[in-house]
A = this chain, B = another copy of it.
């Protein structure tokens, strides 16, 4: 069984997440799932692209899944937010 680490993408500079993925890729579990919601989705794609082009020429981009999550915001308003999950392995 191979463990899969998860890196959640947020609003920090993209290199923070590149570094987080590199750490995760190197620490045993060779599979990493990069997850993001909403506006951070493009940062997730950036993260994987930077990893592949600059640091891991042989990085394998596995399955890319998209989905919708329902968030309950203030005043009980339900928001639909798109999500992405990109599985990578070194």
Contact = CB atoms under 8 A, between A and B. Distances in A.
Contact of A84 (B40, B45, B50, B68): B45
Contact of A49 (B40, B68, B86): B68
Interface of A: 38-42, 45-46, 48-50, 53, 61, 64-68, 80, 82-84, 86
Nearest 10 pairs of A and B residues by beta carbon: A41-B42, A64-B64, A45-B82, A49-B68, A49-B82, A46-B82, A45-B66, A42-B42, A41-B45, A39-B42
Contact of A67 (B41, B49, B65, B84): B49
Contacts of A67: 49
Of A42, A48, A53, A66, which is in contact with the most chain B CB atoms at under 10 Å from its CB?
Answer: A42
B66 A53 contact: no
A38 B49 contact: no
A46 B45 CA distance: 15
